[in-house]
A and B are shown apart, each in its own frame.
Chain A
Amino acid sequence: MPAVTKKNKKTSSNSNGVPKLKFNSGWEYAPAPESKSHIKLKDRYDLFINGKFVKPSSGKYFETINPATEEKIAEIAEANAADVDKAVKAARNAYERVWKKMPATERAKYVFRISRMIQERAREFAVIESIDGGKTIRESRDVDIPLAANHFFYYAGWADKLEYAFPGRVPSSLGVAGQIIPWNFPLLMAAWKIAPALATGNTVVLKPAETTPLTALKLAEIIQESGLPEGVVNIITGFGETGADIVNHPDIDKIAFTGSTEVGKIIQKAVAGSNKKITLELGGKAANIIFDDAPLDQAVEGVINGIYFNQGHVCCAGSRLFVQESVYNIVLRKLKDRIETLIVGDPLDKNTDIGAINSKTQLETINKYISIGKKEGAEMYQSSCPIPGKGFFCRPTLFTNVAQSNRVAQEEIFGPVLAIQTFRTDEEVIEKANNTPYGLSAGVWTDKGSKIFNLTTKMRAGVVWANTYNKFDPTSPFGGYKESGFGREGGLHGLSGYLKV
């Protein structure tokens, strides 16, 4: 058993003098680890180009580690510009000679087959996703993997119905798509990129994030097994430089990127003046708003899910909480009680609510913001749960006494840290919610239906949730305004990024 650090339990009272409820004591849940015995992982993975796994030109490999244990899992090939060129050539070849000519219904069959194969190996994918990235098995099993399979199912259905997607227009595919995805939802992001690209008749060169390449590589194995024509999908691993090589390659028709706003800007500059089409899905600093007529316990639950789901590594995370001042004390009390019951620990334990932070770098970033918050004068509150001695972990954190000008209220932290502000009126909160360069998502909590309709049209965010949060579906278009990017993924809207209409 790794050493465990326990924080001193706070036994204090409410403002009435009523003692706080005692959580995380008494009946403890025994470890309930998910079995790893059935998964198949190689010691070393090569690049998937033109239907085969080939060695990197440079012969270089890097390690991917398990962020919960800091142990190495496998060696991963590092692609250089020559490998990128090989992959793009393979994709171009496959596009011109095979994929472009294939009847849409036939294309659909491959996409459908891939989704079935993901489903059949769902448990294996879920366990590997948790080991590689640190997210809890509960989430990878119940959210990531099913949604990934669903995206392939959904877009398989569109392949032969594109003429109905845009009435009066005849859409055609673009060619070769270069796709770069992040580490927070590795397999799901691969599905969001590959499925629509294939369904619309494009071929793909995809680079997974360097800390989470494994499920993309397992997907490559499935793709190989599915008989998809060689070169239609190429998966090459590497760091930021490999991504830059893809972006800058002259024979790419379309770039799709999900990641930080900072890198998104670099990419936009790089493709300016070229013929490349581009969609970007970047960062966010979403406002989650609790009105005084909200069902408070359910709102608190939604806020908790909004920021602590996937350890807060979510672009659309509800990282700014706005509470109407008249219910502030009650909401704060409920938030604090609720975070006491969140279990931080081994991602493979079925009872873990908050898994490992994806990497040492990310943990350092989060801790940096926590100290910035404290220096700025915000009050920090963390739960008292024990955290493992090894691995990268962070307790769920709240900041109160936060103003709009605090850095923790402005900058994306990408971790389990919630900044809480109060507001008095509807107009005030709309203004504050929109007062950000980001515009990806928002949440509204109120029991009054008319307020929902009224408010949501005024939020400058691509996705607005009412009385819920973090709900995704392949039929529902996802994407941002302003510096959260442009273009949509999912639904009918998700097709247009990959078509000339």
Chain B
Amino acid sequence: MPAVKERIIVPDFRSSPRVDQAGIEERASRFTKRSIKKESKVEGLKLVLSMIDLTTLEGKDTPGKVKQLCYKAKHLLDTYEGLPTVAAVCVYPSMVRVAKKSLGDSDIKIASVATAFPSGQAAMKVKIEDTRFAVGEGADEVDMVISRGKFLAGEYNFVFDEIAAIKEACGEARLKVILETGELSTFDKVRRASDIAMHAGADFIKTSTGKVQPAATIPVTLVMLEAIRDYYYSTGKMIGMKPAGGISKSKLALHYLVMLNEVLGEDWMNNHWFRFGASSLANDVLMQLVKEKTGVYQSGDYFAID
């Protein structure tokens, strides 16, 4: 870590930087004009795979489902040599123990949602206990949700304090803070929420729970990446980014990588600092990788759905 003077600067969040929607959308569409082919495509696709948080967050999740998901996480496509594994598996706290047993000592992290995911509408002590439970069961990472109601009511101090409290409850686990951008409605608010989260102790900021539309989009992710960049330059601290929900195609995932590459640069281009919250993306990436190797598209039936 570079030597940076120890100064705790907590800005007045009411005057967060403004974001121009038309400008964001224009810059966002420019990323989609990049043409990623050949070696850079293969390299990009493998990087995408290594950045996926393979996710199952259904009310009907069972140990059987989670075990099979974990197996897939470790064995994406055994017939293709040299593939990375996904970054993590993302489950509800009640499934963390099963996931930990299935993953054994692989490098794949266990991320658990917490804090009354997805709504966040519960008492503070419930959310802290939820977090402690998940961490106690073996979660390496915690994906929390902010209190959107409190945020929209202007209670920024509350939102800040809540995140700080959950960060403390995380202990060694890395904290991802879900802003639920689909409920925040404007880019200005997304920027504000991002700034609050980073100053309060987030290790990652994340777009969505995946339960609300719209989930992740390139423009909203751009707003958050720009927040991360400004935070980095004023504090020296790196923060990770996780767009989640709605990214099911390789082409789209590659556009996200282009954006990451051109907004934050090389240091963020790994799964310690960037994740995709996705489930079906992995199979599309595998299909594209096989096509790059063999020259033809295989049917979806050749890629296991777990």
Tell me if A210 is interfacial: C-beta within 8 Å of chain B: no
With A23-B262, A27-B47, A30-B38 as contacts: A298 and B2 at CB distance below 8 Å: no
Q: Judging by beta carbons under 8 Å apart, are B232 and A18 in contact?
A: yes
Q: When each residue 23-42 of chain B gets 1 if its CB lies under 8 Å from chain A and 0 otherwise, what string results?
A: 11011000001111111110
A18 contacts B262, C-beta separation under 8 Å? no
Interface string of B1-37 (1 = CB under 8 A from A): 0111100000000000111101110110000011111
| A350: interface (CB < 8 Å) | yes
Looking at the complex, which of A64-72, A257-265, A289-297 is the stretch in contact with chain B? A289-297
Task: Answer whether residue B226 sits at the interface, using C-beta atoms and an 8 A cutoff.
Answer: yes
A-B contact count (CB 8 A): 103
A16 at the interface (CB under 8 A from B): yes
Interface-side segment among B97-105, B116-124, B265-273:
B265-273
Q: Interface residues, chain B, CB within 8 Å of chain A? A: 2-5, 17-20, 22-24, 26-27, 33-41, 43-44, 47, 226, 229, 232-236, 257, 261-262, 264-267, 269
* 4 smallest beta-carbon distances between A and B, as pairs: A298-B23, A32-B35, A26-B266, A295-B20
Taking the closest CB of chain A, its distance from the CB of B17, in whole angstroms, is: 7
Give A86 to B19 CA distance when docked, in angstroms. 58
**With the chains together, A138 CA to B38 CA distance in Å?**
19
Assembly CA distance A302 to B24 (angstroms): 10
Known: A16-B233, A301-B23, A302-B23. A138 touches B33 (CB 8 A): yes
Given contacts A295-B20, A297-B27, 17 further A-B contacts (CB under 8 A): A17-B3, A19-B2, A21-B229, A21-B232, A21-B267, A22-B267, A29-B35, A30-B39, A30-B41, A31-B37, A138-B33, A298-B20, A298-B23, A301-B27, A341-B262, A351-B34, A467-B20
Q: Can you report 13 residue pairs joining A to B where beta carbons are below 8 Å apart? A: A13-B2, A16-B233, A18-B233, A21-B265, A22-B267, A23-B262, A25-B266, A30-B39, A293-B18, A333-B233, A350-B34, A467-B23, A468-B22
Contact of A29 with B40 in the complex, beta carbons under 8 Å: yes
Question: In the complex, A30 Cα to B44 Cα: how many Å?
Answer: 11
Q: Is A75 an interface residue (CB 8 A)?
A: no
Query: Which residue on chain A has the smallest CB distance to residue B27?
Result: A301
- Bound together, the chains give a CA A459 to CA B23 distance in angstroms of 22
Q: Contacts A29-B34, A29-B36, A467-B22 given: A22-B266 contact, CB under 8 Å?
A: yes
Within 8 Å CB of A160, what residues of B?
none
Residue of A nearest to B40 (CB): A30
User: CA–CA, A96 to B59, complex, Å?
Assistant: 81
B226–A23 contact, CB under 8 A? no
Contacts of A447 in B (CB 8 A): 18, 20
CA distance A293 to B18 in the complex (A): 8
| Cβ contact of A295, chosen from B19, B34, B265, cutoff 8 A | B19
A28 interface residue, CB < 8 Å from B? yes
A27:B2 contact, CB within 8 angstroms: no
Bound complex: CA of A351 vs CA of B254, how far in Å? Answer: 14
Task: Identify the closest chain A residue to B237 (Cβ).
Answer: A18
Output the least CB separation between A340 and chain B (Å).
8
A17's contact among B2, B226, B232, B269, by CB below 8 Å, is which?
Answer: B2
List the B residue with the shortest CB-CB distance to A302: B23
B233 is contacted by which of A14, A32, A299 (Cβ under 8 Å)? Answer: A14
| Bound Cα distance from A302 to B23, whole angstroms | 8
B191 → chain A closest CB, angstroms: 9
Chain A residue numbers with a CB within 8 Å of B17 are 295-296
123-164 of chain A: CB within 8 A of chain B: 138, 142
The residue on A at minimum CB distance from B47 is A27
Q: Chain A residues near B35: list those with CB within 8 A.
A: 29, 32, 350-351
**A22 touching B236 by the CB < 8 A rule?**
no
A299 to B36, CA, bound (A): 27
The residue that A27 contacts in the complex, of B19, B22, B44, B234, with Cβ under 8 A, is B44
**B27 and A17 contact, CB distance less than 8 A:** no
Chain B residue numbers with a CB within 8 Å of A333 are 233
Return chain A residues, CB-CB under 8 Å to B37: 30-32
Closest to A293 in B: B18
Pair A27/B264 contact, Cβ less than 8 Å: no
Q: CA separation between A28 and B20, bound complex, in Å?
A: 29
Q: Are B2 and A18 in contact (CB under 8 A)?
A: yes
Quick one: which of A19, A28, A293, A301 contacts B40, CB cutoff 8 A? A28
Alpha-carbon distance between A350 and B44 when the two chains are bound, in angstroms: 18
User: Could you tell me if B261 and A26 are in contact, using CB atoms closer than 8 angstroms?
Assistant: yes
Chain B residue with minimal CB distance to A297?
Answer: B226
Which residues of chain A come closer than 8 Å to B23, judged between CB atoms?
295, 297-299, 301-302, 467-468
Q: Decide if A27 touches B269 in the complex (CB within 8 Å).
A: yes
Which chain A positions have C-beta within 8 A of B19? 295, 297-298
Bound together, the chains give a CA A54 to CA B20 distance in angstroms of: 54
Is there contact, CB below 8 Å, between B236 and A18? yes
CB distance A16 to B4 under 8 Å? yes
| Distance, CA A21 to CA B267, complexed state (A) | 8
How far apart are the CA atoms of A297 and B22 in the complex, in Å? 12
Chain B residues whose C-beta falls within 8 Å of the C-beta of A468 in the assembled complex:
22-23, 26
**What are the residues of chain A within 8 A of B233 when measuring CB–CB?**
14, 16, 18, 333
Contact indicator B265/A16 (Cβ below 8 Å): no
Q: Are A27 and B3 touching (Cβ within 8 A)?
A: no
* Binary flags per residue of A9-47, CB closer than 8 Å to B gives 1, else 0: 000011011110111011111111000000000000000
Measured between beta carbons, the chain B residues less than 8 angstroms from A351 are: 34-35
**Cα-based distance from A30 to B226 in the complex (angstroms):** 26
What residue in chain B is nearest A14 (Cβ atoms)? B233
Residue in A closest to B257 when the chains form the complex, CB atoms: A27
